């Protein structure tokens, strides 16, 4: 097992987050069973006092969870020199069977944690805690994912052995290989390019319409997640080729290297922020008819929508600049 400061930080974060969320899950069960804002009972008063502390602790824990995704990817990239055959984070994540599952769990928790934090913010602004059952119900869905993430991450780091020969990104993201990575690398560039910019246009139109018609929330949330998926596919299928100026190099992780000016961070950060903001805006808009939130939700949704559109715009602008400045001629 390799031991580095970043691995220790990731493990401490995972243990803390899982412990906090599981502890809060017990409280969530009590909320779902016994919460009654119109009651003046001793139990209700106790729940109202405790929810301040629990919500604050969960907020800090999930905030740390958001940052752990970035630290995990950075850690995998920094360890690439420790393994024979690894050129980037792809090889490090492929050292054993737990690397990529840990990454997928962290991405899923990133979106759910962002949604919980924004639901909690909206709930705290309502005088009668109108979303308290919904946010604690969501927390019960997040809890098993954090436990799975802790188990997968611990197994992954515990099984890291420097004498293991791993596969490089060239073999994983290759048309000769099997799996999702190979399928993405084999997507036709021109069709994917059209889909890429088509999704940008659809998300922009929906976002601008959604600001005045909150009923479009589910569509905007779905388009934000679809935009995220299409963007990842586009990075693998053709955008990475323009950055590397190599028609056979499809790796989405080599973009994080210093040799490519860390451009991957500039691409992925706004993409994740845009997708998470769009998803949260669409979900929160559904609660705009609640009495204590009628004056608050529209303003919060508008801010989140602008954040989503601005983040997506930054991502697409940078992607377009990378294509235009590249010397690679991929499409005639």
CB contact at 8 A, 142 and 61: no
CA separation (Å) from 252 to 82, 100, 158, 232, 240? 20, 13, 25, 8, 7
pTM of the model: 0.94
Distance from C-alpha of 36 to C-alpha of 106, rounded to nearest angstrom: 34
pLDDT in tens, the chain (332 residues): 678 899 999 999 999 999 999 999 999 988 888 888 888 788 888 888 888 899 999 999 999 999 999 999 999 998 888 877 777 888 888 888 999 999 999 999 999 999 999 999 999 888 888 999 999 999 999 999 999 999 999 999 998 887 777 777 766 776 566 777 777 778 888 899 999 999 999 999 999 999 888 889 999 999 999 999 999 999 999 999 999 988 888 889 989 988 888 999 999 999 999 999 999 999 999 998 888 888 899 999 999 999 999 999 999 999 999 999 988 887 76
């Amino acid at each position: 097992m390799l031991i580095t400061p970043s691995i220790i930080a990731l493990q401490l974060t995972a243990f803390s987050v899982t412990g906090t969320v599981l502890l809060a899950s017990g409280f969530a069960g009590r909320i779902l069973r016994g919460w009654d804002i119109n009651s003046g009972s001793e139990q209700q008063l106790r729940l109202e006092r405790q929810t301040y502390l629990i919500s604050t602790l969960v907020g800090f824990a999930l905030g740390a969870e958001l940052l752990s995704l970035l630290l995990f990817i950075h850690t995998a990239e920094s360890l690439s020199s420790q393994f024979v055959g690894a050129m980037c984070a792809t090889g490090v994540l492929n050292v054993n069977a737990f690397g990529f599952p840990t990454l997928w769990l962290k991405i899923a928790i990133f979106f759910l944690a962002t949604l919980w934090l924004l639901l909690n913010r909206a709930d705290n602004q309502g005088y009668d805690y109108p979303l308290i059952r919904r946010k604690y119900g969501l927390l019960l869905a997040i809890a098993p994912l954090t436990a799975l993430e802790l188990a997968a991450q611990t197994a992954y780091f515990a099984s890291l052995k420097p004498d293991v020969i791993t596969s490089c990104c060239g073999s994983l993201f290759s048309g000769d290989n099997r799996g999702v990575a190979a399928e993405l690398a084999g997507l036709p560039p021109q069709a994917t390019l059209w889909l890429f910019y088509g999704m940008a246009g659809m998300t922009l139109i929906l976002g601008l319409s959604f600001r005045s018609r909150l009923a479009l929330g589910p569509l905007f949330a779905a388009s934000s997640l679809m935009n995220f998926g299409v963007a990842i596919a586009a990075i693998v299928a053709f955008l990475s080729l323009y950055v590397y100026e190599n028609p056979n190099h499809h790796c989405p992780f080599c973009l994080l290297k210093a040799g490519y000016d860390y451009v991957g961070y500039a691409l992925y950060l706004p993409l994740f922020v845009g997708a998470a903001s769009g998803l949260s805006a669409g979900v929160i808009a559904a609660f705009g008819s609640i009495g204590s939130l009628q004056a608050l939700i529209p303003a919060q949704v508008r801010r989140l929508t602008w954040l989503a559109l601005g983040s997506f715009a930054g991502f697409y602008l940078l992607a377009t600049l990378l294509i235009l400045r590249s010397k690679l001629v991929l499409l005639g």
